Structure 1
Amino acid sequence: MKNEDIRCNEHPDAPHGFMRDASLNEDRYVCECEFWEPPKEEQNPVAYITGFHNGHCVIEPFDRATVLPVGMALYRRPLVEAEDREKVAQWMMKEGYATGHGDTVEELLKELEWQISEKLTSNHTAPFVTDKRSDKTDIRNLWTA
C-alpha cells in the first residue's frame, strides 16, 4: 500500500483515521477526512406553526415579502421541467423511441440510453443469426406421397 498519495483535508475539525476498506480498494492509505465536508450553516426558520387544520400544519411566515418569490420559484419549476420533458419526448417519438417510462427529463434520457444500447446490441448480433437447419433441404418433397 502506498503512503505517498495521502490526501488529507486541512480543515481543523476534519476527522482523521484509517479507512480499511477504502484503502484496500484504492491500494493506498485513505483517511476519513477525504470524504468529510464541513457542516453547513444552519438555516434560520422562515415561518412558525399557528395551528392545525384537517391534520395539516397551518404556518405563518415571519416575512411575507420573502415567501412570495420562493413560492413562485417552487411553483414555476415543475412547469419548466414539464416543458423540457415535452421537448425531449417529442423528439424521442419522432425518432421512433418509446417514452412510457420517464416522468422527468433525466428518466427519459436514461430510457433513451437504454433503448439505444439495446438497439445497438440487437443490430450487432443480427448478422450472426443463422438458420437452425444446417442441411437446407427442401422439406416440401418429404411430405409428398
Structure 2
Amino acid sequence: MAELVSLDTVTLGGVVETVPFADRLRLIPNIFGRLDAAIGQAGFFYVGPQTALYRIEGDQMEVRAGVPLDAPLPGFEMFEAPGSEALMHRHRGGFDGLAQVYQDLSAEIANLGRMRGTWAREIYRQVARNADLNVVDVYIDVTKET
C-alpha cells in the first residue's frame, strides 16, 4: 500500500551521471559499482543507507547514487536529495519487481488527482545475496492536485 510522505532535504556524497534512458538497466549497476569503490577507498566498511535519485529529461536519465556523509571526501561528489512530498511504497524482494512498483505508484498518483514531480528515488534498506530479503523504499515526488 502506498503512503503519502514528506521528505526532508538530505545532503549525500556519491556519483552523479547522466545516462541514455534506453541503456539505463545496463549502465546503472556500473554507477553503484563506482559508489561501492569510493566507499571502500574512503576506508568505510559500511555507510548508508544507499540512496538513488532518478530524473528523466528527454531521452536521458540523471542518476544520483549516494550515501549520507558528514563532510566531503575524495572520490565523492556532494549533492542534495531535495525535500518533497512523495508517494512511497516499501518493496520486499528482488529488484526485478521494482518496475511494477513504479507502475503501481504512477497509477496511484493519478488516482489521487496529483501529478508526478521531478524525482523518483530508492532508499536501499536491506540488500542481500538472497533477493527475497531485499527491502527498498521507492518514492515518486508528487505535485499538488491538478
Task: Say yes or no: TM over 0.5.
Answer: no
Normalising by structure 2, we get a TM-score of 0.22
Normalising by structure 1, we get a TM-score of 0.22
Question: Greater strand share, 1 or 2?
Answer: 2
